[in-house]
Structure formats: C-alpha cells, structure tokens
Amino acid sequence: MALNVIMMGPPGAGKGTQAGRFARERGLLKISTGDILREGIKARLPVAMRAKELMDRGELVDDATMIAIVRERLMRPDARRGFVLDGFPRTVPQAEAVDTIVAECNNGPLIIVDMRVPDHELVRRLASRLICARCGTNAEPSTEGPSTPAVCAKCGGELVQRADDNEDVVRERLKVYERATKPLVDFYRERPTFRIVNGAQSKERVAHELDTVIDDAAAAGAGARASAAVSSQKAARA
C-alpha cells in the first residue's frame, strides 16, 4: 500500500534531511516546495520569480500558487507509491488541499510527523547552514572542528548561505511559522496518524525515532481505515 508522510516543523528542524533520507530508503517521492521554488528561480520561471520577493523576506507564498504546484507534481504517476512532503502544507487551506489530493492520487494513509526543536537551536543551525549553489543540497557540517567543507560532497558545487538564512530573515520565518503553520498542529492533533518527534538530537537518533513512529502510525492508520470500512458496511446493511 502507498505511504504518504508530511514532515512538519519549523525552519531548521531537519525536515529536508530526514525527508530525503526516508524517501530514498522507502522508494517514495520526496517533494520540497522550497526546493521547487528555488529551482524555479534559477530557471527564471515567472511564477517562481514572483515568489522570490516574499521568500527573501521570509514570508509565505500564496496558497493558490503553492497548492497548484503540489497538485501538479502529485498527480504524476511516480507519486502513486507514496510521497514525503517537506515544507508543505504550511497553512490550514494547504492542509485541506493535501487531503483532497491524497484521495485522488493514491488514497494511502497520511502520516504527519511534527519535528520539535527549540528556537535558540534553530537560529544557531540556520545561521551556520550552507547549501550547494549548484544542486541545492544541504552541506554536511564538518565533523573535524568548526571549518566547513569548501565544496559540495555530492557534486563539487560551491557552498553558499541561503538568501533567507541570515538572522533577521530567520527570525521573521520563525514568527511566520508560529502564526501560520503552528495552527496545523490543531488541525492534525486528533488524527491517529499524527506523531511528534524530538528533532534536537543527533541525525541518527532522529532518523531512528522517525522510522519507528512512521511505521507505528502507518499501522494505526490502516487499522482506523479498516474499522471505518467495517462500520460503513454495517451501516449500508442496516
């Protein structure tokens, strides 16, 4: 059965890293709306160029644009096995759209993982984060002292700071997260497939915790669907 995962959490929580790893290991499609927009800017696509100004200020791009981008991507055949979303949904209307899209795309369970990391740790991580100017991958922090690797380990591209990772914009992005995206926790909290993960641990520990909670939530989701199906069959017979 298909498996769909939403990685929720503030900027810098590690959503992109974990979404990429999980999707690779399970053969799922990973969609990062931030990456799609940044690629669009590199290619000078009009829709992405309009979004750029908002992104540079740390504000959100409008729901209609974002929903159209994600819908188009998830309606392609490679999403039928399931997907991992990084950076989407960020608002309640976007979350409502995901439910509709899942029903049309593969009807698999939707697991929501909320990655929690304290604000001071997020600011620290984002201020020192580097990405590859060529392929967009997050650079691995060097394990040998404070020096960071000079080039991307994957493609040899130049490592740069993201335009929106400077401290002022980071603070704005965290405010926007509190205001627009945190309400999503209330939207999802009651679902049997909602889980919280402590993102303030080593990458390996986070990965282990994520794998465990996603498998557990997938089983809970399947159970909830089975009992809903039995009740509706009973109701139809009555």
Enumerate the active-site residues: 15, 90, 129, 162, 173
- Asked whether position 88 contacts ligand AMP by CB under 6 A, the answer is yes
d(CA 141, CA 174): 22
Closest CB to ligand AMP among 69 and 210? 69
Closest CB to ligand AMP among 101 and 218? 101
- Asked whether position 61 contacts ligand AMP by CB under 6 A, the answer is yes
- Write the burial class of residue 119 (CB in 10 Å: 0-12 exposed, 13-18 middle, 19+ buried): middle
| Span between the terminal Cα atoms of the chain, in Å | 30
- Asked whether position 40 contacts ligand AMP by CB under 6 A, the answer is no
Binding piece for ligand AMP, criterion CB under 6 A, among 57-65, 102-110, 122-130, 208-216: 57-65
Closest CB to ligand AMP among 28 and 31? 31
CB atoms within 10 A of CB 187: 16
- Asked whether position 34 contacts ligand AMP by CB under 6 A, the answer is yes
Residue 3 β-bridge partners: 82
List strand residue ranges (DSSP E) for the chain, in order.
Answer: 3-8, 29-32, 82-86, 110-116, 131-132, 159-160, 194-198
Chain length of the chain: 238
- Asked whether position 90 contacts ligand AMP by CB under 6 A, the answer is yes
- Asked whether position 87 contacts ligand AMP by CB under 6 A, the answer is yes
For 60, how many CA atoms within 13 A lie in the half-sphere containing its CB? 23
The dihedrals phi and psi of 196, each to the nearest 5 degrees, come to -110, 140
Nearest residue to ligand AMP, scored by beta-carbon proximity: 34
Site residues for ligand AMP, 171-190, by CB under 6 A, read 173
- Asked whether position 111 contacts ligand AMP by CB under 6 A, the answer is no
Closest CB to ligand AMP among 114 and 164? 164
- Asked whether position 67 contacts ligand AMP by CB under 6 A, the answer is no
Peptide bond into 11 cis (omega under 30): no
Place of tokens 């404070």: 146
Closest CB to ligand AMP among 184 and 214? 184
Binding site for ligand AMP (CB under 6 A): 11, 33-34, 37, 54-55, 58-61, 66, 87-88, 90, 94, 164, 173
